[in-house]
Amino acid sequence: QVHLVESGGGSVQAGGSVRLSCAASGYTYSRNYMGWFRQVPGKEREGVAAVSGGGSDTYYADFVKGRFTISRDNAKNTVYLQMNSLKPEDTAMYFCAAGRTYAITSMSPLDFNYWGQGTQVTVSS
């Protein structure tokens, strides 16, 4: 059974940093690209970043470019999201998800097979 478990969320002041982790188990983790999404109540889930199966290719949404960094450690079956220069508008529930292919092909939530339960990040001004 596939499990994705996020950790690292919390409360931080604007300008601060948080690192999220997502530990995967139950499948061949390195075969799939991984993504981070976020969602606030009343809004659709939006893609934040993604990393290919081997970790060499990445994607970032425009609103996090230059501030967030996605990475993965396939030996540990873990993907990370380093979030710097946080803004109040980054406040959301953050989810990791496993894509269907090795290469990054889509940031539509419909194209991700498995999801974690989410971790809350709250940025205060």
Report whether pLDDT(108) > 90: yes
Average pLDDT over residues 85-89: 98
What pLDDT does residue 26 have? 85
What pLDDT does residue 51 have? 98
Report whether pLDDT(95) > 90: yes
Contact call for residues 121 and 9 (beta carbons, < 8 A): yes
Q: To the nearest whole percent, how much of the chain has pLDDT over 90?
A: 93
What pLDDT does residue 43 have? 97
The string of pLDDT tens digits covering residues 29-72 is 888 999 999 999 999 999 999 999 999 999 999 999 999 999 99
CA atoms of 118 and 93, how far apart (whole Å):
6
Closest CA to 92 of 38, 24, 43, 26: 38
What pLDDT does residue 1 have? 84
What pLDDT does residue 27 have? 81
Burial zone of 56 (CB within 10 Å; 0-12 exposed, 13-18 middle, 19+ buried): exposed
| pLDDT, the chain, mean | 96
Report whether pLDDT(116) > 90: yes
Edge-first strand order for the sheet with 3-7 is 3-7, 18-25, 78-83, 68-73
Tell the residue number behind the tokens 């990475």, with chain if given. 71
Torsion angle of alpha carbons 18, 80, 5, 98, nearest 10°? 140
